[in-house]
Structure 1
Amino acid sequence: MTPTVFITGATSGFGQACARRFAAAGWSLVLTGRRAERLHALADELGTQARVLPLVLDVRDRAAMEQAIGQLPPAFSTLRGLINNAGLALGTAPAAQCSLDDWDTMVDTNIKGLLYSTRLLLPRLIAHGAGAGIVNLGSIAGNWPYPGSHVYGASKAFVRQFSLNLRCDLQGTGVRVTNLEPGLCESEFSQVRFAGDQARYDALYAGARAIQPEDIAETIFWILNQPAHININSLELMPVSQSWSNFAVERA
């Protein structure tokens, strides 16, 4: 049976790269995204390689998620993989200066959207059984604090703990759960965070040899194709150019 993977946030970055990687391997794809034109263009591109079902959805919209997932056609109804990729960071200002609207958006997308897709698709993953898997896109920001990370980092710490807790609840089902925690990656993610400021984007990645979306897609493909008795609990990865800095000390 052709395996099926459900990918949220498929219209750019990691999600788009994952769609291309899994399509090249012959997997059937259920792809979600808010931008209809981009989503349908990707579905048309990959339709020559694999069966593709595009769903124009915002993961924050619980009712829309319930309706779309409840009406998945039989050919896409049993899933082997779920890639919870939809997520974002907004702004880098200190907590006392940032926008509450931005905080709401990050919580609604990074936490609640991930919860909706996971809960609604769990029965389909459990129906597949051994070999099925969930990959949640966490971040090193969920493990390591830095200025301006506040709600974004906290939301990724939630993803980390939720992933570990899911492992407990899914024991005996054969369904695996991985929290993938990338460091510096070059993608549209940073353009969104910097509100389209191309100069800041270019400065962030200049000379850094950052991780690329294709690197993440290859890693996720590897995770979901491990032998059915292997679970990668969490995987943190950075470019070689990135490491940790000293603790900050305020001096009188």
Structure 2
Amino acid sequence: MTAFPRYLATVLLAVAVGVAAAPLALAADGAGAAPEPIAGADLAAARTAAREPAVLDRVGHFFARGGIAPNRPPAISPADENRAAAAAAPQLAGDTVAVYTLNAGFVTGTAGAPVARVDFVASKAVAADGRTASVWTVRDGTGWRVVNIASGGDEVDYPAKAAAGGGGTAFREPQINAWYVLRGDRVLPLDDEAVRSVGASGVTLAAYRQLVHRRYGDKLPGSAYDRAGEGGGYAPGSASGAAPEGGAGAVPAVAGAVLGVAALVGAGAAVRRRTARR
């Protein structure tokens, strides 16, 4: 399976998603408990924000620019970009879902900390030619607002895959671009990166906590690792925790250390990269 970089660009205000968003309820009935789902009314409100005409217009321009961030010059003229954006005619498809990310409290062993916490809510947008993008929304004091548009549909596709395979809570470990599902007391892989992390049959929740504690326990925000500015990525098995640079299969680097250990507490970025699967 060949891997290649895929770029994601923030086309609206980038914020520290998760931390900046209003708190969402989490179960506290035991260490590693699954987070409680977001209320249906909140998901509906997030979807409404994602399908505003102004947002869909920005998604159209995202497709027209090939994912190039708004602060970088595109390869086409403004007039051609406008025509391509109109031709993209993006519409939302599938369910709007909560996106869960590995929880720093779980990594450090905080009593009752769930394995993951809600980072943002995602809706999939599909262009007329079949290209897809994820529209990210977070809740603030005035309601739900769109903060990012990302190429592809991982944020919606992997929760759907988890639901179709027996349910559970899908969550991501963005430091290694891995997606898992928590099903009962087991953490099971949903993508190739997760298989490389926990094996095809997965591991117990306790074993997974030991695994991520070894990976990130001394690399959280405020640590010596963080203060040294080493939060740009993490490669499993790397003694330093730094991601390799470039090449197929390399752990993707992310501006603003979003893919690094800082992602355990949530972050936004202007340009992102992740591995595409085919």
Instruction: Indicate the structure whose relative CO is greater, using CA pairs within 8 Å and at least 6 residues apart.
Output: 2
TM-score normalised by L of structure 2 = 0.30
Q: Is the strand fraction higher in 1 or 2?
A: 2
Q: Is the helix fraction higher in 1 or 2?
A: 1
TM-score normalised by L of structure 1 = 0.32
